[in-house]
Structure 1
């Protein structure tokens, strides 16, 4: 007698792409479209636009951004991971029709010089040696120094231009203890000096250097870089450390609170559509309940909703286990 395969087993067969049985198959052909935020087959411009359009700032964030823009001061944005601190910068740049955001991710080893510029002295010396070796009898000219100087994100943001650039300094609280104070003079002066260009002979006043966004080389006169329109600087922090008072008083400070239920529903709709919003009320409520017991990021919610509403939905028992794993608090002990 033929046996009928249980419905749950058939559903498992439909959902599992990787089966773990060691037998090759073409299961990837059934893989649905990726979540919008994990698509890499589009241009960087399209992805930045989508990121900007999906953000929903509250009224306080809008007010503080405007204050920073009017006062030409950096905006220090503090909040839990996943609350949209970084996305705010892309939203501002998109709405104001500015050039792409300049991004400076901070680590414990980041220095002010890395943000301003980098001079590849070894590369220039190597090219000089190659020229001399190719024509030992000739008086080979030194390579153009501008080809070996690249402005960092902060340095590029401080170039003179009629409209400001948006600069995102991400997770400054990860930095060495001195970096916030090191930034003060640059923010106050609106510029900096490149000593390697300042020392050049009088007959070489102008040098064209490279920028962090790899666009056309830009002229720098006598090593001086100074903005005409102060950049819109958005600095993010997860609140893992305190900053010096001298740094804080030069910033406009914004604390981003976790999104409300309505804001979360708006975010879900912006990323996944109206139908996903209508089907995700229970997951949003579970997310909010879990937030009272630990740190959760909005992208964890989006991941859980995508699995529950995408074309190939897991069986209910698997979905509940996956939801439990995906909505695990970020500050929970252990990795599992």
Structure 2
């Protein structure tokens, strides 16, 4: 079959010069001004029980598992299910420090504005105008009765001392902003209002979204932020290193295992319910075969569930799934050949 005639062909090689309208991407790869509707998050009953345990105890939920099992997505599922608004996201890397998550002070902007106002002979803006709470600071500053969901993503990538630093803030339920403490001591001003972090996946609410808007400023008293409503904290880890026992003791731990065939079928049904309902028997049989093939391929190396979803999206979009295409989409994550 000529490349131009293959089902789903968009790119046809050099100098094709044919105008092509790209079809919609998978639901999880569509972006726009509205908050995307996520499909139901499928979990085993025993895993749901552990999530509820952390909610009752108001303890951080430490979620471990192999890449692609849905660790980060769990935070968004909890926020959606409980009506707690958008998730506050702190992606951790080797350079992350606790202050990044607590607050940001723009000293350069303050110095620039102070110089400008001095030349103009006008008062400079207050110091709190240059302070914005980070995702953790915003979560701790939530109003009573309005907890936020905080996702601390891939904590195991951070510095070895970061879990202990994080634990101190969780246990104290408070943290200091030194710039405001010094200002309070110098002026006697007890209260300040500072900006809050925007959510990493912020979208304007849909017209039928009944959830209340969260506050856009936080209270600081004598330079301190005091927690009034402990957030729902979900910490993810890929198991790249161990955490201190003191940290583990204060977390509720959940290991998300790789999904079995039945679980995979439920995930696929939730993600593609409308498409599968409209599909013919040949297509649904092909989808079932993909689920089976996915389980078999996973025996030789790690696969992420979204790799299966990608393959099924291609099949439902009538893209030719030749062996080399499936090999590219369902390539094990620990396949060394994929890196060469």
Considering the TM-score relative to the shorter chain, is it more than 0.5?
yes
More deviation, 215-224/80-89: 215-224
Deviation at 1:247, TM superposition (A): 0.8
Query: Given that residues 265 and 277 in structure 1 are in contact (C-alpha distance below 8 angstroms), is that contact kept between their aligned partners in structure 2?
Result: no
Q: What's the secondary structure of 1:192's corresponding residue?
A: strand
User: What corresponds to 1:4 in structure 2?
Assistant: none
Does 2:192 correspond to 1:207? yes
Q: C-alpha separation between the residues in 1 aligned to 2:249 and 2:68?
A: 26
User: What corresponds to 2:245 in structure 1?
Assistant: 245
Report the CA distance shift for 1:219/1:256 in structure 2 as closer, same or farther (over 3 A): same
Deviation at 1:216, TM superposition (A): 2.5
More deviation, 32-41/111-120: 32-41
Question: Where does 1:14-163 land on structure 2 (aligned, <5 Å)?
Answer: 14-26=7-19, 28-29=20-21, 31-43=22-34, 45=35, 47=36, 49-50=37-38, 53-133=39-119, 135=120, 138=121, 140-161=122-143, 162-163=145-146
Q: What's the secondary structure of 2:132's corresponding residue?
A: strand
Q: C-alpha separation between the residues in 2 aligned to 1:13 and 1:329?
A: 26
Q: C-alpha separation between the residues in 1 aligned to 2:111 and 2:249?
A: 43
Larger Rg: 1
Deviation at 1:54, TM superposition (A): 3.4
Deviation at 1:14, TM superposition (A): 4.9
Q: What's the secondary structure of 2:300's corresponding residue?
A: coil
Please give the per-residue CA displacement for 1:74-116, whole angstroms capped at 9, x wherever unaligned: 0000000000111111111111111211111111101000010
Q: C-alpha separation between the residues in 2 aligned to 1:149 and 1:129?
A: 18
Q: C-alpha separation between the residues in 2 aligned to 1:14 and 1:95?
A: 39
Query: Given that residues 170 and 235 in structure 1 are in contact (C-alpha distance below 8 angstroms), is that contact kept between their aligned partners in structure 2?
Result: yes
User: What corresponds to 1:287 in structure 2?
Assistant: 294
User: What corresponds to 2:211 in structure 1?
Assistant: none
Query: Given that residues 268 and 277 in structure 1 are in contact (C-alpha distance below 8 angstroms), is that contact kept between their aligned partners in structure 2?
Result: no
Report the CA distance shift for 1:13/1:295 in structure 2 as closer, same or farther (over 3 A): closer
Unpaired runs of 5+ in structure 1? Answer: 1-7
Report the CA distance shift for 1:13/1:66 in structure 2 as closer, same or farther (over 3 A): closer
Question: TM-score when scaled to structure 2?
Answer: 0.87
Q: What's the secondary structure of 2:73's corresponding residue?
A: helix
Deviation at 1:18, TM superposition (A): 1.2
Q: C-alpha separation between the residues in 2 aligned to 1:262 and 1:148?
A: 52
Please give the per-residue CA displacement for 1:208-230, whole angstroms capped at 9, x wherever unaligned: 11111276333322122122221
Question: TM-score when scaled to structure 1?
Answer: 0.88
User: What corresponds to 1:230 in structure 2?
Assistant: 230
Q: C-alpha separation between the residues in 2 aligned to 1:60 and 1:111?
A: 34
Deviation at 1:66, TM superposition (A): 1.0
Report the CA distance shift for 1:13/1:253 in structure 2 as closer, same or farther (over 3 A): closer
Unpaired runs of 5+ in structure 2? Answer: 200-214
Number of matched pairs: 314
Cα RMSD over matched residues? 1.8
